[in-house]
Amino acid sequence: ENTDESISISGDFKDFKESSGNNPIEKVSLVVSVYNEEAVLVKFYKEALPYLKNTGKKYEILFVNDGSIDSSRQILNDIAAGDKNVKVLHFSRNFGHEAAMIAGIDYADADALICMDADLQHPPSCIPMMIEKFDGGYDIISMIRTGNKSAGIIKNIASNGFYTVINILSDTKIEKSASDFFGISKRAAEILKKSYREKVRFLRGFVQNLGFNKTTLKYEAGIRAAGKSKYSIKKLFKFSINTILCFSDLPLKLGIYAGISAAVLGFIMMVYTIYSWASVGTPNGYATIIVLLCFMFAVLFVIVGIIGQYIGIIFSELKDRPIYIVEDIKNIE
Ligand code: UDP
Ligand code: MG
């Protein structure tokens, strides 16, 4: 416990401590990731803007264009040309939703950040409630979806299963139905910016892991205003595996358990073989050998595969390539 205390009053973290407290926030930043959302962008902007204006706070809307190949780029530039509070980051190519959110967190300039999707599945009507929470001194606002009309049954079951597995495997408790819709204070964002630069990551998990004053709000996930979902089942599967690997080393330990189990089984087989050899003469060893061989190799290959996955992660961390590349910016100095 002592170390925690000494961290919070030493060095860099001193600033975070001082910036905390129950002072109302002055400025809020809406971070919006955009990938081929030409059909909804203007609608989103028109719908979100009044909520921001009515709070009486200073605000910015930071659109992160994640390498869209439709007319999203032009639409965003047009919106930015007419509104100085709208900032735009254009990526050089598609880097993924999480990379877009990370870039938004990096470039946002406000006391509080709200990350949300552009497709209006995250209702802008939640913004005032979230700002109220920030004013009340909360650092992390997790938005919990109460219903997901758009996702099919399979996606919902898969999502439930995923959270169950990740919560069993890692010591981090990750809220079920936590979404990519969340609010974070500036000091929490600073920590994400400085210390959570992992290449294989799960931003939602990181956010819930920071500690600080956390709160949750419920929202009804709407249907996509227009356009198509960019997350295929395949993408989600890969994403889930990566998340488990980055949050837990339990799979590696499973290898040890499998090894020990195989050793115990092997020992039993050995005792049995010697016994039957001594009592009834030489047993028919062929079937036994085949079965054992297959079993042992199966265990071995699975373990090697798991180790390979972790080496893959180490490899990508080591290469240290950028999480995203910004090609152009609008209304950002
Ligand atoms: N998105 C992104 N990069 C991607 C895929 C999606 O920035 O590679 C954005 C997308 O424009 C949307 C949000 O992330 O604002 C969520 O994506 P989507 O609605 O397709 O996911 P779903 O809601 O179906 O899970
Ligand atoms: Mg969506």
Three-state DSSP state, 46:
helix
How many Å lie between the centroid of ligand 2 and the Cα of residue 294?
45
- Ligand 1: residues whose CB is within 6 Å? 33-35, 37, 66, 94, 96-97, 100, 117-119, 121, 229-231
DSSP element (H, E) containing 327: strand 326-330
**In this structure, which residue's CA is closest to atom 24 in ligand 1?**
229
What is d(CA 40, CA 120) in angstroms, rounded to the nearest whole number? 8
- Whose atoms come closest to the Cα of 37: which ligand? 1
CB contact at 8 A, 235 and 250: no
Look at residue 325 in the predicted model and tell me its pLDDT. Answer: 96
* Percent of residues in the chain assigned helix, strand, coil, to nearest 5: 55, 15, 30
The three-point CA angle 28-81-180 to 5° equals 40
Residue 4 has what pLDDT? 45
- How far does the centroid of ligand 2 lie from the alpha carbon of residue 119, in Å? 6
**What does the block give as tokens for 6?**
């000494």
Do 330 and 78 contact (CB within 8 A), yes or no? no
Closest CA to 68 of 41, 90, 43, 88: 90
Distance 121 CA to ligand 2 centre (A): 6
- Ligand 2 centroid to Cα of residue 104, in Å, is 18
Amino acid at 276: S
Task: Calculate the alpha carbon distances from 231 to 35, 97, 124 in Å.
Answer: 11, 9, 22
Q: Taking the chain (333 residues) in consecutive chunks of 10 residues, what is each chunk's mean pLDDT?
A: 44 46 84 94 94 92 95 95 95 93 94 93 92 92 77 75 81 74 93 86 82 88 77 79 81 82 83 80 72 81 87 90 93 87
Are 100 and 33 within 8 A, CB to CB? yes
Ligand nearest to the CA of 155: 1
CA–CA distance, 40 with 29 (Å, rounded to integer): 20
Query: Per residue in 223-246, is it b (16+ CB within 10 Å) or e — as a string?
Result: ebbebeebeeeeeeeebbebbbbb
What does the pLDDT read at residue 3?
Answer: 44
What per-residue confidence (pLDDT) applies to 198?
84
